[in-house]
Amino acid sequence: MFAQRNGAFRQLLPAVLALAGTAASFAMTAAPVRAAANGPFYSATLTRPMDGAQKLVQKGLLWKCEGAECFAARDTSRPVIVCARLAQKVGPVARFATPQGELAADDLARCNEAAAG
């Protein structure tokens, strides 16, 4: 009876070790990607500077602002929508950009309508 349990253990051990190794390798490779994805994606220049460094959350997106400059990680909404949400919270935005470029003048005007309303 002991020989049967020992044989089953010998068959099961490599599978358990392989599963543990695979899980560990996935965890180690996913960590740097997630860290890079959490860096600043949006940048905004406000028309009225804020007092000192501040953090604010608008619709689940964390903004870090110092003076007239604000930065946030990527969101699932379109940039003009993200800009409008920020403008609702802090007032008019002079410049709003993503890594793909700055908002066009008409989109920036639409963004700032949210600050007025």
Range of the domain at 24: 1-37
Handedness of CA 57, 69, 93, 73 (dihedral sign): negative
Count of domains for the chain: 2
- Do 82 and 28 lie in one domain? The reply is no
Q: Are strands 69-72 and 101-102 parallel, antiparallel or unpaired?
A: unpaired
Neighbours of 22 (CB within 10 A): 10
73 and 83 fall within a common domain: yes
44/32 same-domain check? no
Backbone angles phi, psi at 87, to 5 degrees: -65, -35
- Please say if the pLDDT value at position 8 is more than 70: no
Residue 76, amino acid = T
102 with 56, same domain: the answer is: yes
Q: Are 9 and 62 in the same domain? A: no
**Which residues lie below 8 Å from residue 103, measured CB to CB, with a gap of 6+?**
79, 80, 83, 95, 96, 97, 111
48 and 31 in a common domain: no
Task: Let me know whether 28 and 43 are in one domain.
Answer: no
Mean pLDDT of 29-41: 56
Are 12 and 48 in the same domain?
no
pLDDT band at 17 (very low <50, low <70, confident <90, very high): low
Please check whether residue 111 is in contact with residue 93, taking contact to mean a CB–CB distance below 8 angstroms: yes
Task: Tell me: pLDDT of 80 over 70.
Answer: yes
